[in-house]
Chain A
Amino acid sequence: MKKIIPIIEYTLKENIRHKIFYTLLLFALVIMASSLIFSMLSPEEETRVILDIGLGAIEIFAFLSAIFAAAGLVLGEIENKSISLILARPVRRYEYIWGRYSGILSISLCNILIMSLGLLFLLFVKGWEFQFRFLLAIGFIFLKVVIISALAILISLISTSAISSISITFFLWVVGHVTDHLKYLNYVLLQKGVKITIFLKAIYYLLPNFQYLNLKDYIGNPNPLTGATILWQVAYSLVYASIATWLSVLVFSRKEF
């Protein structure tokens, strides 16, 4: 555990020095500010438009910064052979992966917090009434980043280039949002006499399911969100991310440098 902390610090410092970090953060804040212009097109629902654009920007840019960090850091170190220097020290492979992963999550959390503060400032200026579900939506965006970062690291260890790693991770992000439609697909296929329910269920449970973490789409929903549901959603995210990270450790432990 003690060896993981310096890796986390090193990952944080490396990311903060990276231009992409600042570029993405700046873009997110610019898009949030531009939501003020869009909101003028809908004077009666101004705060709603600002809130939705802001949350969307936070999610997109948190996702992008996580996958660029995951794909760039680990793969970059493998490509320029600096990984050998780290592994020459008494750092175990699982400590390295978990340290890198935790560092990426730390930088994503910083990103999300800065963007959320910017959005809150805009909303309060416009007279928005605070809703607790806003904080839950931000928290669940972070949970999505927890899962996708773990997957991004796994994909970056399996793939041969940063571009393919980023593309595959993006594909998983898209697919993770449409797994809910697999049930409808199963229903349509059954009506046509095609029985692949078990296969579709396997895909449904193996792929990440982001729809249940997509709380920003349910902010206006009057139905209550129980504590038990939130706990299971958090548990699902953490367990899924652990699986992906341990798989990364498995892949990484079999690599030779």
Chain B
Amino acid sequence: MRKPIVIFFLILPLLGLSIFAQHQVETRFRFSLPLIVEVKPSSFIHFWGSLLGFRRLSSDLAWIRLLQYYGTLEREEEHVHHLGHCERGEYSELLPRCQEVVRLDPYFHYAYLFGGGCLAFNHERYEEAIQLLQEGIRNDPKFWKFRLYIAAIVYTRTKEYDKVLPLLEEATRYRDCPEVVKVFLASIYKAKREYDKAIAIWENILATSRNESLRSMAESRLKEMGVLR
């Protein structure tokens, strides 16, 4: 009889200590993720993944679904990108899908840059691109590349390509620069008849890209410019 009482009186202060420790963690833990009601997950897997502590993994699955969605042709004709005119599909769900990815993991920087770049430079949906990048700034104000991309998008919208060039050149110096930005920069160089710079970018994409369709696009551009046979 004595032993259980001793154990019971050992457990009580431990319980108090546990509550105190949890309160200390709560006040010091500066990391927070959007609640499930804010994320609005589109699938059962994302919902349960988020609840069970697999937010980043759910974000990765949403990201792969986004890439599959964006990588699937909406129309039969080949993707062609010209400066100021795009003949790709509509991809109306591009922004909501990007938002789901970044709400599951607000620090998935590449998703913001990729989504913003595709919306702005491939589809001329500048407002949506800026909306996505501004959400990135709210979640991670220290990541300065969001502001760089917004500036490039604003100048692209107002067709001030001379101001766009230095911003995009800076963006392409970084390893995490989405290839859509490099493609857009190459198109600007070609439109301004700076063929050497355009060729350098396409050669870089051909040598480094892990995306097969982009590599074949780079190869065909280089053949058009007479660099490859």
Q: Report whether chain A binds chain B.
A: yes
Which A residues are closer than 8 A to B by beta carbons?
38, 41-46, 48-49, 52-53, 55-56, 59, 94, 173-174, 177-178, 181, 184, 205, 209-212, 214, 216-223, 225-226, 228-229, 232-233, 235-236, 239-240, 242-243, 246-247, 249-250, 253-254
Binds A, one of B14-22, B77-85, B123-131, B183-191: B14-22
**Can you name 15 A-B residue pairings with CB atoms under 8 Å?**
A41-B68, A44-B210, A45-B60, A52-B57, A177-B53, A212-B26, A217-B56, A221-B31, A223-B30, A223-B31, A226-B28, A235-B21, A239-B21, A243-B15, A246-B7
Asked if B107 and A56 sit within 8 Å, CB to CB, the answer is no
Asked if A243 and B11 sit within 8 Å, CB to CB, the answer is yes
User: Which residues from B are CB-within-8-Å of A38?
Assistant: 64
User: Which residues from A are CB-within-8-Å of B54?
Assistant: 56, 217
Assembly CA distance A220 to B112 (angstroms): 14
Assembly CA distance A66 to B29 (angstroms): 27
Apart from A181-B35, A212-B22, A239-B18, 14 more pairs, CB < 8 Å: A43-B211, A44-B179, A45-B60, A48-B60, A52-B57, A52-B60, A173-B52, A177-B52, A229-B28, A232-B24, A236-B24, A243-B14, A246-B14, A254-B4
Asked if B107 and A174 sit within 8 Å, CB to CB, the answer is no
Counting chain B CB atoms within 10 Å of each CB, which of A178, A209, A218, A228 scores highest?
A218
Number of contact residues on B: which range applies?
35 or more
From known contacts A49-B64, A205-B22, infer whether A222 and B52 are also in contact, taking CB-CB under 8 Å.
Answer: no
Cβ-based interface call for B63 (8 A): yes
Nearest Cβ on chain A to B184's Cβ, whole angstroms: 16
User: Which residues from B are CB-within-8-Å of A205?
Assistant: 18-19, 22
**B residues 131-171 with Cβ under 8 Å of A?**
140, 142-143
Assembly CA distance A235 to B22 (angstroms): 9
From known contacts A45-B110, A222-B143, A229-B28, infer whether A174 and B178 are also in contact, taking CB-CB under 8 Å.
Answer: no
User: Which residues from B are CB-within-8-Å of A216?
Assistant: 53, 56
Cβ-based interface call for B44 (8 A): no
Cβ-based interface call for B207 (8 A): no
Nearest Cβ on chain A to B218's Cβ, whole angstroms: 14
Assembly CA distance A173 to B51 (angstroms): 11
Asked if A178 and B51 sit within 8 Å, CB to CB, the answer is yes
Cβ-based interface call for B73 (8 A): no
Assembly CA distance A46 to B63 (angstroms): 12
User: Which residues from A are CB-within-8-Å of B51?
Assistant: 174, 177-178, 181
Nearest Cβ on chain B to A77's Cβ, whole angstroms: 21
